[in-house]
Amino acid sequence: MSEAVIPLAEGFEPATSEQWLALVAKTIDGASFDEKLVSRTIDGLEILPLYPAGDAAEPLALAARDSARPWDLRVRTAHPDAAAARAEILADLEGGAASAILAIDPEGAAGCAIGSAEGLAAALDGVVLELAPVALDAGFLGPKAADWLAAAAKSSPNALLNFHLDPLSALARGGASPGPIESHLISAATVAARLTETYPKAGLFLASGQAVHEAGGGEALELGFMAASLVAYAKALSRAGVPTRDALPRIVLGLAADADYFVTIAKLRAARRIFARIASALGVDATAKIEARSSRRMLARLDPWTNMLRLTSAGFGAAVGGADAIQLGGFTDALGLPTAFARRQARNAQLVLMEEASLGRVADPAAGAGFLETLTDQLARAGWAAFQGIESEGGIVAALSSGSIAREAAATLERRHAAIESKAEKILGVTLYPNPMKVEVAVEAPKARPVDGPSARLPGPDTKVPPLTPVRLAAPFEEAGQ
């Protein structure tokens, strides 16, 4: 095949921005340019109708990507039955997934009913931990679950573990910690410090802003919460004896991937810049590791098949934004636990993006795009300002205790609902093209069988904060339409 370039624009005079603006003025017939053509994110950041070609403000620090498997295709299991959870994980790995997140809850309400090292080992029986990374989602039981996972790995230094210790997100979502949150930070850091030498490849903490996202908060606050959690966990590890140069690279950043893929792309790129700035201030040479999980607040109960579009868009945004690991939920997650079919759909959406759309062939596809470079810079600055605001209150715990984070998230949620109410924003299948027929889809509805497990309570009074309660944006409008 010929590689010759055919100059399609040859012979045409290059258009100028002045010519374009003159045509715009004629078209909008005296109306305000800003009102007609300038839109804004939920945080008030301007989005213009046209951008000049841009140069990357600074190269993003990205880990080397394998073009065949450019990111970690991650699945999440929360089935209350350990045997069923094991079957789901093995089926997902055989079906193309590379790693798994195992949610743990001895009560079986919010995860797999596991309460011991033996129980976790049984749930992971057949999973080769040197080949398939396993991450945990255990809330305040995180330190104990980390020890259980370490036992399952049998001291293999090549085990690919992600302990994902994250007591701050558990506090933010639930509104209280069983004992002082400072004690939970110390406990988590102590366990992480003890395990770090045995498992040199393990991720220790997850500094996630997803609790803000799921409560309806904006991208700036999500990034600020993430950054403040990162600093809090780095400090806790330092106090536990892990040097900052070793601690920072082993804290994974957690962000939500939304159906608005442009915002998702820019948010993930902004997170890398924020991480790089914090690392530079601490004198650490490290590259951010980002785990993106699909938004649950964007999912609809009505006509749940439309959720496939949202999840695919979220996966696209996370992949182009440079996520190191991506977890997409099932299209039925707003209704119940996913069936094998829903889990396969979630895996296949990523496989198509990876293997057929070839999204991993370019390290940073957004580089140089005027719109995305500008939005990345805007979100990085807004996220940094949110981080500074949290730190000025005394850190993440103080900001949660004061209620400032919850109030800001609630105010943003009100603006989101108002935009949907006014039809400025639309929800496919709910407020836009609602299906008049009731759509039935299958979900898993297992009966939880609690097991005996250790208490997460630590000595001292509980820390109580205004909670970041998860929401679904479609919920009020689904109720009105039924």
pLDDT of res. 482: 47
Q: For residue 470, which amino acid is it?
A: P
SS3 324: coil
pLDDT of res. 4: 77
pLDDT of res. 427: 95
pLDDT of res. 58: 65
Instruction: Please count the other Cβ atoms lying within 10 Å of the Cβ belonging to residue 158.
Output: 11
CA-based R_g, the chain, Å: 23
pLDDT of res. 401: 98
Please give the C-alpha separations between residue 88 and each of 27, 442, 465, in angstroms, as whole numbers: 56, 16, 35
* Torsion angle of the four alpha carbons 392, 393, 396, 402, in this order, in degrees rounded to the nearest 10: -160
Up-side HSE of residue 24: CA atoms within 13 Å toward CB? 17
pLDDT of res. 314: 98
Q: What angle do CA 36, 38, 40 make, to 5 degrees?
A: 125
What does pTM read for this prediction? 0.94
- Smallest Cα–Cα separation from 321: which of 278, 274, 359? 359
Q: For 46-74, b where at least 16 C-beta lie within 10 A, e where not — what string? A: ebeeeeeebeeeeebeeeebeeeebbbbb
pLDDT of res. 454: 97
pLDDT of res. 30: 81
Contact 184, 155 (CB under 8 A): no
pLDDT of res. 97: 98
Using CA atoms, how far apart are residues 228 and 417, in angstroms rounded to an integer? 27
pLDDT of res. 353: 96
Strand partners, 210: none
Taking the CA atoms of 167, 173, 178 and 182 in sequence, report the sign of the dihedral they define. Answer: positive
Please give the C-alpha separations between residue 343 and each of 88, 205, 350, 467, in angstroms, as whole numbers: 9, 26, 11, 30
Reported as type and span, the H/E element at residue 294 is: strand 290-294
Give the start-end residues of each E strand in 70-151: 72-77, 99-103, 134-137
Per-residue pLDDT of the chain (482 residues; tens, 9 = 90+): 456 777 777 888 888 888 888 889 889 888 888 888 899 999 999 998 888 776 555 667 677 777 778 999 999 999 999 999 999 999 999 999 999 999 999 999 999 999 999 999 999 999 999 999 999 999 999 999 999 999 999 999 999 999 999 999 999 999 999 999 999 999 999 999 999 999 999 999 999 999 999 999 999 999 999 999 999 999 999 999 999 999 999 999 999 999 999 999 999 999 999 999 999 999 999 999 999 999 999 999 999 999 999 999 999 999 999 999 999 999 999 999 999 999 999 999 999 999 999 998 888 999 888 899 999 999 999 999 999 999 999 999 999 999 999 999 999 999 999 999 999 999 999 999 998 888 899 999 999 899 999 999 999 999 999 999 999 999 999 976 54
Using CA atoms, how far apart are residues 182 and 455, in angstroms rounded to an integer? 17
User: What are residue 220's phi and psi, to 5 degrees?
Assistant: -65, -45
Strand partners, 255: 292
pLDDT of res. 21: 87
